[in-house]
Structure 1
Amino acid sequence: MLQGISAFIKLIRWPNLVFIFITQILFEFTVIIPAFREAGLSPNLSGSYIYLLALSSILIAAGGNIINDYFDVNIDLINKPHKVIISKYIHRHWAILWHILLSLAGVLLGLFIEFKTHAYLLGLTNLLCVVLLFVYSIVLKRKPLSGNIVIALLTAWTVLVVTFCESNLLFASGTRLPLSKITRLTFLYGGFAFILTLVREMIKDMEDIGGDSRYNCRTFPIVFGVNAARIYVAVWLVVLLALLAIMTIYVLQFGWWLSAIYCVGLLIVPTVQLFKKLLKSAEGKDFHEMSSLVKWIMLTGILTMLFLILHV
C-alpha cells in the first residue's frame, strides 16, 4: 500500500506540482491583490478561488505527467530504468484511469471557478491544456522543437492564467487598475518560465538521446546533433543573462540593493555556472546535473516575487 502511494507521488512528479502552486499563489498575493487593493477592487480569484485555480492547474499537470510516462515506458526503460513507475508499480490501465480522472477534475474545477466568478473561459483553457499535454505525449515530444515549445508555453501559462482570470476587470473602462504594471510583471515572469523551460527541455532531450533514438524519435539533438543542441541552449542562456543583467541594473536605479544582490548571487551566477557546464557536458550525468540546476534557477526566480512586497 505505502509502496503504491509512494510510486504514485513520484509518478505525478510532486516537486513540479509544488512549483506550480508556489508560482500561482505568490503571483496572486504579490502582484494581483496589491494592485486591486490600491484600486479599491476585489479580484475574481479572491478568497479561496486562487487556491482552487492552483489545484486545477496541479490536477491537469499531474494527469499530463502520467500520460507522458505512459507513452514513454519503453524509452524510459533505456534512459532511466530506475525511475520507471508504470508497469512496475502501477498497472498501465490504472495509469490511464488516473490520467482521465485527474484531467477531468482539473477541467471541471476550472468550470466551477468560471461559474462562481468572472474568470471567463477558464474551463475551456483548462481543457485546451489537457489536449495539448495529450498530443505532446503521443506526437509532439518526438519531433524537433515543437514539443519543447508546447511545454514551455504551458509552463508560462501557469503565470499568465492568473492574470487571464482577471481580464474582464483589467480591461473594464473606468477602472483605476495599473494595467501596464500587471501586464509587465505577468510577461516578465511568464517569459522567464518560458525561456528556462525551453532550456531544460532541450537538456532533457540531450540526456535522453539514447532511448529516444532507439525508438525512432526525432528530437532536436537526434536530427541536428548534440553540438547544435548546445548552441541552441547557449543562445537562450545568453538571452536570459542579458535580461537578468538589465533587470539588475534597473532595480539598482531605485537603490534596491538587496534585490540586486539576490539577482546576481542566486540567478546570474547559477546561470553562468549552467553555461560553463553546458560547454563541458559530455554524458548523461552532466545533462542531469544541468537539469537540476535549471530547476534551482527557476525556483529562485519565482521567489523574487517576494521582493515585490517590499518595493512595488
Structure 2
Amino acid sequence: MKYLKLIRYQNLLMLAFMQVLFRYSFLKGQNIPLALSDWQYGLLVLSTVLLAAAGYVINDVFDTETDQINRPEKVIIGKSVSETSGYNIYIALNITGVAIGFYLSNVIGRPGFATIFILMASLLYFYSTTLKQIMILGNFVVALLLAMSVLLIGIFDLFPATVAENKAQMASLFSILTDYALFAFMINFIREIVKDIEDVNGDYNQGMNTLPIAIGISRTAKIVSILSIIPFIVSLLYIKQYFLENSLYIATLYAFALVLAPLLYFMVKVFSAKSQKEFNHLSNVLKLILLFGILSIVVITLNIHYNA
C-alpha cells in the first residue's frame, strides 16, 4: 500500500481512465482507421502512467522536508520507503516508460516521436528540482504535461493513420482532442495555484517563490477567482457554438450542471476562502470539474447517436 500511495495511484487511475475513455467512447465510434492496435494503445496508456508515477516519486524525494510541514501524515519517503529505494523506483519507472514510448514511436514509423517521452520525463524531473520554485512556471509545466497526455492520443493514434482521403475528418477529431487538452490545461493550472496556497507554510520554509508567498494568500485567491472566469467563459461559448447549434441538449444540460455550476461555485468560494481546509476542498472541486469535463465526451457521443 505504501508504494501505491507513493505513486498517487488514484491520480494515475484517473489519467489512465481519461485516455481509455477518449479512445473507446469517442474515437472508436468514428469509423476511422487508428494507428495502434488495442494492446499497443494499452502500452501508450501504461507509458504515460509510468512517467507520471516517476514524477510523483521524484517530487516526493525532493519534497520530504516541505511535506513534513504541509502534510506530515502523508510523508512516505524517509519513513516507510527509504530515499535510496525512492530513487531506484523513479529510475525503473522512467526507463520503462521511455522504452515503451521508444517502441511505440517505431511501431508508427515515427522514431523521432520518442523525444516526446524523454521531454516529459525531463520536465517532471526539472519541475521537482527547480521549476516548482519559480513562480507560475512550475504550475504551467504541470498543467502542460496533463494537456500533453490528451494530445498524445492524437499524435500516436490519429496522426499516423491520416491519409489524403480522411485528412479533414482526422483534423476535426484532433481539434476536439485539442479543445479537451486546453480545458484540462486551464483547470489544472488553476488547481496547481490553489495547491500552492494550501502548501504555503512548507514552501515558505524551504525558500520557494510561489505566487501566494510573493503576493500573499488573499491576493492569490482573488487572482485565482478571476482566472477561473476564463475556462467558464470559454466553456460557455463552446457549449453555445457546438452543443446548442447542433441540438445537443442533453450534453448542454450535463455541461451546465456538472461543469459550469461547480466552476461558478468555485469562483465564488475561492474569493473568500482563507483556511487550508477550504483550499483543500476547492482543489478537490477542481479535480471533479476536470473529471466531469472529460466524461462529457461520453455524453456528447451518446447525445449525437440519440439525435441520429
TM range (shorter): over 0.9
From 20, 31, 49, the equivalent of 1:25 is 20
From 141, 153, 172, the equivalent of 1:150 is 141
From 92, 95, 101, the equivalent of 1:101 is 92
Specify the SS of the correspondent of 2:76.
coil
Q: Is the 8 A contact 1:110 1:126 kept in 2?
A: yes
- 1:249 positional shift: 2.2
Aligned length: 302
Asked if 1:252 is matched to 2:252, the reply is no
From 92, 108, 121, the equivalent of 2:83 is 92
Q: Is the 8 A contact 1:23 1:158 kept in 2?
A: no
Q: Is the 8 A contact 1:7 1:89 kept in 2?
A: yes
TM-score (ref. length: structure 2): 0.93
Q: Is the 8 A contact 1:204 1:288 kept in 2?
A: yes
Which has the larger displacement, 293-302 or 248-257? 248-257
Which has the larger displacement, 16-25 or 144-153? 16-25
Distance in 2 between the 1:219 and 1:69 partners?
A: 18
* Letter paired with 1:236: L
Could you give the per-residue CA deviations for residues 260-287 of structure 1, whole angstroms, max 9, x where no partner exists?
1111111111111111220121011111
> Which residue is 2:200 aligned to?
209
Asked if 1:303 is matched to 2:298, the reply is no
Distance in 2 between the 1:88 and 1:43 partners?
A: 46
Q: Is the 8 A contact 2:244 2:252 kept in 1?
A: yes
- 1:180 positional shift: 3.5
- 1:252 positional shift: 2.1
- 1:234 positional shift: 1.8
Which has the larger displacement, 74-83 or 121-130? 121-130
* Letter paired with 1:160: L
In the TM superposition, 1:153-232 aligns within 5 A as: 153-165=144-156, 166-170=158-162, 172-232=163-223
* Letter paired with 1:229: T
- 1:177 positional shift: 4.9
Specify the SS of the correspondent of 2:228.
helix
* Letter paired with 1:26: L
- Unpaired segments ≥5 residues, structure 1: 1-5
* Letter paired with 1:223: A
Distance in 1 between the 2:240 and 2:255 partners?
A: 10
Q: As a proportion of its length, which structure holds more helix?
A: 2
Specify the SS of the correspondent of 2:246.
coil
Distance in 2 between the 1:167 and 1:236 partners?
A: 33
Distance in 2 between the 1:121 and 1:186 partners?
A: 22
Q: Is the 8 A contact 1:60 1:129 kept in 2?
A: yes
> Which residue is 1:243 aligned to?
234
- 1:104 positional shift: 0.7
Distance in 2 between the 1:184 and 1:173 partners?
A: 17
